[in-house]
Structure 1
């Protein structure tokens, strides 16, 4: 497994554990005090989406890269906007760093995970 792929799998696994721990600690309305309903649904859904991304990337499915990129494009800005008054800024730095790794590496990782085309070596026809 490449280093980039390993970082993705670990990072999204940490996200899954974090959101699951939040749900265990605070129930389905754990984010209700500071997030609008649609972001509450998004954050709760990450208990399933984050491990799905980790699994898809681990088993070399490019769709996992694009799903992971979509997650990060919503999750990182939402955390900065919503968590800034609640959490100290330094707690958002690891999430931001991971988001940058995802953003910068998505295209290369997707290309790396794409199935290799096997040809017979003969020209058609």
Structure 2
């Protein structure tokens, strides 16, 4: 009995969900910086402010790497989402100022990322690129 993996259509949908999620992050951080300027994350610890600002570059970098079907996009995407979720839950619990909807939605996205990274990795490392 031969088992087949997910269809190319399914793989493209999975990659599309990753891309949409990281683009939402990109747009969120750009909007924060446009509206708040250099004080966008004022009131939060310096490390948190630096991470959230860096996500303005990291999130779209993940998107580009995923569009190019490079495994670096998977590695960076997993790293970014896990770091962001850890920081956001810590801020939510200790500092406040974040919505429960936001941290829960982001956590669900992280679960999706972690649970689908293997199939994307297999697709990206195949010799033929449909």
> TM range, normalised to the smaller chain?
0.7 to 0.9
TM-score (norm 1): 0.83
Give 1:12's aligned residue: 22
More helix, by proportion: 2
Deviation (angstroms), 1:115: 4.3
Q: Structure 1: where are the runs of 5+ without partners?
A: 118-125
Instruction: Give the aligned partner of residue 65 of structure 1.
Output: 74
CA distance in 2, matches of 1:63, 1:86: 32
CA distance in 1, matches of 2:67, 2:105: 21
Residues 91 and 98, structure 2, Cα contact 8 Å, conserved in 1: no
Aligned partner (choices 89, 106, 119) of residue 117 of structure 2: 106
Specify the alignment match of 2:5 in structure 1. none
TM superposition score normalised by structure 2: 0.81
User: Contact 1:28 / 1:44 at 8 angstroms: preserved in 2?
Assistant: no
Structure number with greater Rg is 1
Distance across 1 between alignment mates of 2:99 and 2:52: 19
User: Which residue pairs with 2:63 in the alignment?
Assistant: 54
Q: Over aligned residues, Cα RMSD in angstroms?
A: 1.6
Residues 92, 98 of structure 2: 8 Å contact kept:
yes
Task: Say whether 1:93 aligns with 2:85.
Answer: no
Q: Which runs of 4+ in 1 moved over 4 A?
A: none
Closer/same/farther in 2, CA of residues 24 and 83 from structure 1, 3 Å limit: farther
SS, match of residue 45 in structure 1: helix
Show structure 2 runs of 5+ residues with no match. 1-8
- What is residue 122 of structure 1 aligned with on the other side? none
Helix, strand or coil for the counterpart of 2:127?
coil
